A and B are shown apart, each in its own frame.
Chain A
Amino acid sequence: MSEQTRWMLAVRDHRDRAAFAALFDFFAPRLKRFVMRGGMGSGQAEEIVQEVMLTVWRKAAMFDPERAQVSSWIYRIARNRQIDKLRRENRPLPEVLAHDPGTEPDAGQVVALEQETVQLKQALGKLKPEQREMIEKAYLGELTHQQINEQTGLPLGTIKSRIRLGLERLRHELKAMRDE
């Protein structure tokens, strides 16, 4: 299990402040740059970073390592916060899926998800600079309306294996993009 996941579980299950501080040290400076990409000044960006990390602390019970990496979960919280701030309305969010509190996470599932994410990062790392820039712009850039094209036909399955499938497919798409 990755260091980040262990820190996050320590925060979730034991309200461990040292583990939270470790998460802060890694994520806060990156979140600040991410938020500043949207054109926000340093001071305002730090306020958002604080709010995002405060949400990480307060909503830690919702973190489920079988479904999300710490970074995915923090990314979602950061986007929510940015949208709520920019649009002055709450971003519509799906109903929360309950996971059984108190049960040990399935280590096999957690590790498999981590491995899939490592491979996704490798695929991202192999993109041409202009492709990488395009992807970064889409996921980290300003929150503007993007052109949407229609596409259909998605496979079905259970949610946990599907996240991995989704990651795998995205990785192959990134690879195909590089090979174009």
Chain B
Amino acid sequence: MSTITHHIPEPILAAYAAGALDHPFALVVATHLSLCDACRADAEAHEAVGGALLEETAPESLSAACKAQLMERLDAPHAPEPVYRRSGVYPGPVMEALKGRPPRWKRLGGGVRQTILSAGQGGSARLLYIPAGQAVPDHGHNGLELTLVLQGSFCDETGRFGVGDVEIADDTLEHTPVAGAGADCICLAATDAPLRFSSLIPRLLQPIFRI
């Protein structure tokens, strides 16, 4: 695996650990943590703060039955939760978002394809497939966008991003990511608002493709 050079910024890690991220962003963070021990350790340090505060929380008295009920439930049979394992370039959290199935790609034009993983009030998460050497249409953002590379690489005005790297973009960045030569690029991207494309035709397609 290539060395990760673009990590999750600290405030986003803290927000993840504290449970304050919306689903699409939490998905990108959980996927990066599956690939990056450095950020995983930082996120776990934030959980230690949460744990320390929990220990110091004033106790609230419990109803008399609470403990006895629980002790009785300990041996109750239960179905184990499904575990989604990494499959190919897709880490466990992405496989869970795909419900264990391979992505169903939709064409966006120019060989670029996408699969929407989730879309809602808290933003949307998608997989993007960009053929080697191909550019993603020039676009800006209405809000925060996190893009994590799963296969291949891409370059834009801000640098080069390889497997495991995360690009953080906000509404000040108008960029044109181009997939590196060699391997086709697959990315996981989260946005908190639909992308707005700079050129006219992609913008007309936006409502159709939900990009």
Interface residues, chain A, CB within 8 Å of chain B?
17, 20-21, 24-25, 27-34, 36, 42, 45-46, 49-50, 53-54, 57-58, 67-76, 78-80, 82-83, 87, 89-97, 117, 120-121, 124, 135-136, 138-140, 143-146, 148-152, 154-160, 162-163, 165-167, 169-170
Residue pair A53, B50 in contact (C-beta under 8 Å): no
- The closest CB in chain B to the CB of A82 belongs to B19
- The closest CB in chain A to the CB of B78 belongs to A58
Q: Given contact pairs A27-B54, A159-B38, A163-B48, enumerate 13 new A-B contacts (beta carbons under 8 Å).
A: A21-B71, A29-B62, A45-B60, A49-B62, A68-B47, A72-B48, A78-B54, A79-B19, A93-B93, A96-B83, A138-B20, A148-B9, A170-B46
Residue pair A94, B40 in contact (C-beta under 8 Å): yes
A24 to B72 Cα, complex, angstroms: 13
A67 to B17 Cα, complex, angstroms: 15
Q: Which of B34, B37, B57, B92 meets A162, CB within 8 Å?
A: B37
Residue pair B38, A157 in contact (C-beta under 8 Å): yes
Confirm or deny: B49 has a beta carbon within 8 angstroms of a beta carbon on chain A.
yes
A71 to B23 Cα, complex, angstroms: 24
Determine how close the nearest CB of chain A comes to the CB of B119; give it in whole angstroms: 12
Chain B contacts for A78, CB-based, 8 A: 54
Chain A contacts for B51, CB-based, 8 A: 68-75, 117
Give residues of chain B (73-119) contacting chain A, Cβ–Cβ below 8 Å.
73-74, 78, 83, 85-86, 91-93, 96-97, 118
Q: Interface readout for B46-66 with A: 1 if CB under 8 Å, 0 if not?
A: 111111111111111111001
A33-B58, A135-B49 as given contacts; A50 in contact with B78, CB under 8 Å? no
Q: Which of B21, B48, B70 meets A117, CB within 8 Å?
A: B48
Q: Which of A75, A151, A155 meets B11, CB within 8 Å?
A: A151
Chain A contacts for B15, CB-based, 8 A: 146, 148
Residue pair B45, A94 in contact (C-beta under 8 Å): no
- The closest CB in chain B to the CB of A27 belongs to B54
Q: Which of A29, A79, A152 meets B60, CB within 8 Å?
A: A29
Confirm or deny: B202 has a beta carbon within 8 angstroms of a beta carbon on chain A.
no
Determine how close the nearest CB of chain B comes to the CB of A76; give it in whole angstroms: 5
Determine how close the nearest CB of chain A comes to the CB of B28; give it in whole angstroms: 8
Task: Report which residue of B18, B52, B71, B91 has the largest number of chain A beta carbons within 10 angstroms of its beta carbon.
Answer: B52
A121-B52, A148-B11 as given contacts; A30 in contact with B57, CB under 8 Å? yes
A117 to B46 Cα, complex, angstroms: 11
Chain B contacts for A136, CB-based, 8 A: 53
9 A-B pairs with least C-beta separation: A166-B45, A71-B51, A29-B59, A162-B41, A72-B51, A94-B33, A92-B30, A33-B60, A75-B50
Q: Which of B20, B42, B66, B73 meets A145, CB within 8 Å?
A: B20
- The closest CB in chain B to the CB of A36 belongs to B60
Q: Which of A54, A96, A135, A154 meets B38, CB within 8 Å?
A: A154
Chain A contacts for B91, CB-based, 8 A: 95
Residue pair B57, A33 in contact (C-beta under 8 Å): yes
Residue pair A91, B9 in contact (C-beta under 8 Å): no
Chain A contacts for B42, CB-based, 8 A: 154, 162, 166
A32-B60, A33-B58 as given contacts; A50 in contact with B10, CB under 8 Å? no
